[in-house]
Amino acid sequence: MSKGLNLTLKVWRQKNTLSKGEIVDYQLEDISRDMSFLEMLDVLNNRLEKEGKEPIAFDHDCREGICGACSLFINGQPHGPMKGTTACQLHMRSFEDGATIVVEPWRAKAFPVVKDLVTDRSAFDRIIQAGGYISVRTGNAPDANAIPINKKDSEMAMDAAACIGCGACVAACKNASAMLFVSAKFSHLSLLPQGKVEEKERVLSMVDAMEREGFGNCTNTGACEAECPKEISMDNIARLNRKWLSANSFADV
């Protein structure tokens, strides 16, 4: 049986949005290498509660890498060191015995800290509300093959739809840009026939909403794609830019 890990955890603690935060050190012993990162935090929180101390607040839901809630900066990387992996799917075997691990919340003006490691990512929800819909007729579901869809388009739409809205792209970007998120949500609708009707309105309204929320500009450094746990392609950003320019030209006519 392998020996557990002894770790030094440096965790960002912040009472609320208006208070000043600080890094607090914690020592952990005999942490199983098979634990997920969030399970390790659970162990620490159990200990803090037994000691009568405030547990560390962190966001999570599915713990299966599909909800995007586990938004943690781990040693300076969104979701930690493993490529294509969310924090809840990151296992402690990714760290060495005796390691020091720094855990922080997302750092972006549009994602204010609620408490400790929890940030308010409702800005993403408002962007989706601005354009994440299609016109549909109510009634029975149509036959699966009623609308022929080009295989390449369907695959690109599905790849874009893999975005879980975690915000890692924003956290990784030096400008806190949300372009990868917005372009993925735009692409997965607009690549399909059902989403063509609102395409021009969608791209204009979603980009406007993104700018209102205070996200920065994209400068194509590629950090968003490199740190995205679902490896969403920057090709979507190019598509968004093309459609935005086209929609603006159409609107000016």
pLDDT for the residue numbered 251 = 55
The reported pTM is 0.92
Share of the chain above pLDDT 90, in %: 85
Does the structure show a pLDDT above 70 at 44?
yes
Domains of the chain with bracketed CATH: 5-47+54-114 (3.10.20.30), 122-252 (1.10.1060.10)
The pLDDT-based confidence of 253 (bands split at 50, 70, 90) is very low
Structure confidence by residue, pLDDT tens digits, 114-171:
999 999 999 999 999 999 877 776 677 767 677 788 899 999 999 999 999 999 999 9
User: Would you say the C-alpha torsion 216, 218, 222, 224 has a positive or negative sign?
Assistant: positive
Does the structure show a pLDDT above 80 at 252?
no
From CA 227, how far away is CA 24, in angstroms rounded? Answer: 26
Structure confidence by residue, pLDDT tens digits, 193-240:
888 889 999 999 999 999 999 999 999 999 999 999 999 999 999 999
pLDDT for the residue numbered 197 = 87
Pairing, β 73-74 against β 118-119: unpaired
Q: In a 10 Å sphere around its CB, with 0-12 CB exposed, 13-18 middle and 19+ buried, how is residue 13 labelled?
A: middle
Out of 71-75, 137-141, 144-148, 245-249, give the one with best mean pLDDT: 71-75
User: Under a CB-based contact definition with an 8 Å cutoff, are residues 75 and 102 in contact?
Assistant: yes
Structure confidence by residue, pLDDT tens digits, 45-60:
999 999 999 999 999 9
pLDDT for the residue numbered 149 = 84
